[in-house]
């Protein structure tokens, strides 16, 4: 279960969560520096960095070496490997039955397969395991809310815990009418939890970070999923990509609590994001939002770092320099 704060003290408003593997360490350093520069420590509990890497101990050591980059927030950094996070699962959560046990065993021993070992936890696909980790983190920390980030996210303007909370204390959420892939994830999540999906044209929470979720809702989702499929790492490690952890949260909350817009304030601005396959016009739009002060978070996917043209690289470096952030990412390599 989540740890409690000091005796008699109310829980902090917000824990911050990032999942990382070795290739993303330069981006994590940028994120850390951006927190030191722009994040108000008030109301922040832990900054939880979860290592999702086949060489877990090596990656944990590399993340710990970045602790000074967090500045005044360094004491809040909580680095944990995937193994230790999954070990927080209580015995009653499974595995139950031979199928769940075998699925978990294969995920835990993925490194011994002769071919196709991946970069994530124990040689599994990092993207798949990352989804399990973003649910399992409900059992770590004590913040009332969790702000879930990716390593590609970094702050480019001043933020505080209250930035992600409505005046009435609800989490803020970004919503849009789902596209085809988004809709597939919604249908898969509702089906897994035995619920009927919402109307096709209804706005839904997005699957792109930042995402803010109350801890009790995240823990409820984790428990509901594990009740049906067993340990989340075993399930997601072998999933086929037709599920999203964020849509499972959406499905569980809608099923257990009611309409999403009544529980969340649906006005969180999206990050200015350069995705893995962003076309030039999308990259231009993201940079423009940051350069004109319209975005608080800028996101650059790690796979884009060696693909962006020199003009885009120069604009990114100028953005970082103007905000007192490291501007040497394009000289570091993978």
- Which pLDDT value is given to residue 240? 79
- For residues 224 and 158, state if they share a domain: yes
The pLDDT value given to residue 2: 53
> Is beta strand 14-20 parallel, antiparallel or unpaired with respect to 44-51?
parallel
- 292 and 165 in a common domain: no
The string of pLDDT tens digits covering residues 304-316 is 988 999 999 999 9
- C-alpha 177/C-alpha 180 separation (Å) is 10
275-298 residue pLDDT tens: 999 999 999 999 999 999 999 999
Q: Indicate the number of domains in the chain.
A: 2
Domain that holds residue 303: 271-327
**Which candidate, 178, 193, 260, 271, places its Cα nearest to that of 225?**
193
Both 44 and 68 in a single domain? yes
Write down the pLDDT at residue 1.
47
Q: Which residues of the chain have pLDDT under 50?
A: 1, 3-4, 333-334
From 252, 269, 286, the end of a domain falls on 269
Residue 257 and residue 281 in one domain: no
Residue 169 shares a structural domain with residue 225: yes
CA dist list (Å): 292 to 268, 288, 296, 297: 18, 6, 11, 13
* pLDDT in the model for residue 334: 44
**pLDDT of res. 291:** 97
């Amino acid at each position: 279960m989540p740890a409690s704060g000091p005796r008699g003290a109310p829980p902090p408003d917000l824990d911050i969560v990032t999942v990382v593997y070795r290739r993303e360490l330069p981006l994590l350093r940028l994120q850390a520096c951006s927190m030191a520069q722009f994040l108000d420590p008030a109301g922040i509990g832990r900054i939880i960095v979860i290592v999702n890497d086949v060489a877990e101990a090596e990656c944990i050591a590399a993340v710990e070496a970045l602790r000074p980059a967090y500045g005044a927030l360094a004491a809040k950094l909580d680095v944990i490997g995937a193994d230790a996070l999954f070990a927080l699962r209580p015995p009653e959560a499974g595995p139950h039955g031979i199928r769940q046990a075998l699925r978990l065993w294969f995920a835990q021993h993925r490194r011994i397969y002769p071919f196709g070992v991946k970069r994530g936890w124990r040689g599994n696909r990092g993207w798949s395991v990352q989804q399990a980790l973003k649910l399992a983190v409900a059992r770590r920390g004590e913040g009332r809310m969790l702000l879930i980030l990716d390593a590609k996210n970094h702050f480019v303007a001043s933020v505080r815990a209250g930035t992600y909370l409505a005046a009435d204390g609800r989490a803020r959420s970004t919503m849009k009418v789902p596209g085809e892939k988004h809709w597939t994830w919604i249908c898969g999540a509702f089906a897994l939890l035995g619920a009927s999906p919402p109307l096709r044209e209804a706005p839904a929470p997005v699957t792109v970070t930042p995402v803010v979720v109350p801890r009790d809702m995240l823990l409820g989702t984790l428990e509901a999923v594990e009740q049906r499929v067993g340990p989340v790492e075993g399930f997601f490690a072998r999933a086929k990509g037709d599920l999203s952890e964020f849509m499972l949260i959406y499905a569980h909350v809608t099923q257990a609590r009611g309409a999403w817009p009544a529980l969340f304030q649906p006005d969180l601005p999206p990050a200015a994001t350069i995705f893995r396959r962003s076309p030039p016009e999308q990259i231009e739009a993201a940079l423009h939002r940051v350069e004109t002060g319209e975005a608080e978070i800028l996101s650059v996917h790690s796979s884009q770092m060696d693909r962006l043209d020199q003009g885009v690289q120069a604009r990114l470096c100028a953005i970082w320099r103007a905000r007192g952030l490291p501007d040497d990412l394009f000289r570091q390599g993978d």
